[in-house]
Structure 1
Amino acid sequence: MDYMLKEIQQQPVIIPKTVKKNFNIIKKICDKIKTYDIRFIEFVARGSSDNACMFGKYFLEYMYGIPTGLMAPSLFSLYNEKTNLKNVLVFGVSQSGQTPEILEVLKKSKKCGAYTIGITNNPKSEIVNIADDVICLNAGKEQAVPATKTYTAQLAIFYIIGFVLAEKFKMLDNFVAKVPKFINEIINRKEEIKFIAQQYRFARDLVVLGRGLNISTAMETALKLKETCYVKAEALSASDFLHGPIAMVGQDLPVIIYAPKDPTFQHLFDTAKRLKNEFNTEMLIISTEKEITKFTNNKVLIPKKVEPLFSPIVYIVVGQLFAYYLAKSKNINPDNPRGLKKVTIG
């Protein structure tokens, strides 16, 4: 079995382990956040970790009401930006804990007055020596180059932080009790997803749409398709998609849509309807709602019991499996994409 598939299948075990190992650590960190009178939260990362940070940005602002943003690493690493970061929290997220640019941004953020937190899967990495506090994913070594289990472990960390900051401990208990089961149900449908993925083996281009909490899901799916399948996949907010990019759509440009039943659903429904009626677009729709899947033959119906708030960490497993099986159908080794290494320099 390929490492990528093996690590996808480890996720239902890793997520509760990540919560159990980190709850007390995160509780102390959240107490500090409140004591330090944090007024703004920033995130810095690259690759899949950056997509996890996009989720963290939405989720923490939604749960706790503090403004959030994604940092531009180059301003610190190349342009020597000096910003007043007093009362600012900076999350530096790096699976390896060794990405030089992220380490440099954390160092400079501390000098600028920020409270810094590192999130990594490597407790012996350099990020441990730099950040004020560190959270370890405890996901075990990831052998495949494409991140899967470390991505969902990063999401789990942000779920814990958001629930603890907002003092929504019952929601955290609900998360731990349900999410591993939901993910396991998706994994048990891998043959269904494999069948769908094989239909896209000749696709060179794809668009992946999400919105709100699931823009991160679209971004991570697109990255997985790029790195494992060598497909030019573009992730877009469904709202941004209508402001220009929809013009490139035709029958030869498939679209993947993540559409949980949350406040973004009606807009995604209207987008899918328009794609079908005006362009006869080939779509793969992932949703709990049958009403939106009527616009396509290719769909993954998620059980209705999956709460919309948990959709980013559940729905992405569909994207991971889709990318894995698409790579296999193209006779590409998903574990070792060309030109990539586990630790990226630059």
Structure 2
Amino acid sequence: MLPSETETLMFNEAASSASVIAAQFDRNQERVRALAADLRENPPPFVVTCARGSSDHAATYAKYLFETRLGLVTASASPSVGSVYEARQKLQGALYLVISQSGKSPDLLRNAEAAKAAGARVVALVNVEDSPLAQLADTVIPLGAGAERSVAATKSYLASLAAILQLCAYWRDDPTLIAALDALPAALTQAWQCDWTALTEGLVDAHNLFVVGRGPGLAAAQEAALKFKETCGLHAEGYSSAEVKHGPMALVGKDFPVLAFAQPDETGAGTRALADEFAARGARVWLAGEGGNLPVAVAPHPLCAPLLTVQSFYRAINALALRRGHNPDLPPHLNKVTETV
């Protein structure tokens, strides 16, 4: 027998994200401020991220923040390059950002070790503070999400985005963005109350869909697509609202479902135009953002928007999984920790 919507671990863990992030910001402020000051004084030539799953979607968010706000090229490392091929990377002076909930995935550990040996500065965003990754890293930014028992990551994913946002704000020494950190927990509370019932009801019988976003919002689209597969058994693909035009959009016709996240920045108009184009073809389109049919909480800063969108989405996807006969806490064939080598 399935639990009710408010009885799932996923619901209750996701609902706690605002308080988790408020505590995280307060606890990590001095540590992040010190790291940021050192990075300003000793700037890395580039940044490399290393992660898998939801944590790799957080790395997408980091890429857009560091490249647009700090002007630092940020690349995603393929863990197999270090763990399987054992290739040596030229990383002298680089910032090597490893993002992990458990901090014990063997491939991430091997890559972090190799990066450190190659002269990179290893910073770990990790939820388990006594994990092997935390012990290996030069600097640890604890996510502070606490135990997460649902297989589907929610509060730890949002805590990862929040840690990246806090690091970027202090690294850039941006008063506006720093002020937005204080307002973010309240905005997350508002986002949890947004009614996305239209999306839940519209996808009960769906088989495939696209999720699109752009800029920092791409991280939200990637995460949403994974959650559709993981919790609902629903095939979804996450795309940039620009990249989807390079072939995949040929699949979008009458009644094809599309969920679009319009980031409140320079990319928003393009995403809204794409949503309109798909709707004109007869596709079933749900748009979260300005002018959309899914309500969104007001972001204290455009870079906060992906966290708010994902928070609203988590409540909707929990309900959708149950409507489709799935327990979102126990996806088939999946474990909480994936030990890839």
CA contact (8 A) 2:47 2:95 kept: yes
1:216 to 215, 219, 235: 219
Change (3 A) 1:261 1:118: closer
Determine what percentage of the aligned residue pairs are the same residue: 29
CA contact (8 A) 1:198 1:325 kept: no
Cα deviation 1:181-215 (Å, max 9, x = unaligned): 222112123xx323530221111111000001100
- Determine the C-alpha separation between the residues in 2 that align with 1:238 and 1:174: 26
SS at match of 2:312: helix
Q: Which residue of 1 aligns with 2:310?
A: 316
After superposing on structure 2, the runs of 4+ consecutive aligned residues of structure 1 that deviate more than 4 Å are 303-306
- Determine the C-alpha separation between the residues in 2 that align with 1:134 and 1:304: 31
* 1:17-166 aligned within 5 A: 17-166=23-172
Structure 2 residue runs without a partner (length 5+) = 1-6
Question: In the alignment, is residue 253 of structure 1 matched against residue 247 of structure 2?
Answer: no
CA contact (8 A) 1:194 1:321 kept: no
Question: In the alignment, is residue 204 of structure 1 matched against residue 207 of structure 2?
Answer: yes
Q: Which residue of 1 aligns with 2:3?
A: none
Q: Which residue of 2 aligns with 1:296?
A: none
CA contact (8 A) 1:221 1:316 kept: yes
SS at match of 1:300: coil
Question: In the alignment, is residue 193 of structure 1 matched against residue 187 of structure 2?
Answer: no
The residue identity in structure 1 corresponding to 2:191 is I
CA contact (8 A) 1:218 1:258 kept: yes
Q: Which residue of 1 aligns with 2:178?
A: 172
Q: Which residue of 1 aligns with 2:265?
A: 262
Question: In the alignment, is residue 184 of structure 1 matched against residue 178 of structure 2?
Answer: no
The residue identity in structure 1 corresponding to 2:152 is P
CA contact (8 A) 1:256 1:285 kept: yes
CA contact (8 A) 1:139 1:150 kept: yes
- Determine the C-alpha separation between the residues in 2 that align with 1:240 and 1:195: 26
Name the TM-score, length of structure 2 as normaliser: 0.94
Aligned pairs, number: 334
- Determine the C-alpha separation between the residues in 2 that align with 1:78 and 1:267: 40
Give, in angstroms, the shift of residue 258 of structure 1.
0.3
SS at match of 2:43: coil
- Determine the C-alpha separation between the residues in 2 that align with 1:267 and 1:35: 37
CA contact (8 A) 1:60 1:158 kept: no
Give, in angstroms, the shift of residue 26 of structure 1.
1.1
Change (3 A) 1:195 1:272: closer
- Determine the C-alpha separation between the residues in 1 that align with 2:299 and 2:330: 36
Structure 1 residue runs without a partner (length 5+) = 294-298
Change (3 A) 1:34 1:303: closer
Name the TM-score, length of structure 1 as normaliser: 0.93
Q: Which residue of 2 aligns with 1:282?
A: 284
CA contact (8 A) 1:205 1:231 kept: yes
- Determine the C-alpha separation between the residues in 2 that align with 1:159 and 1:88: 19
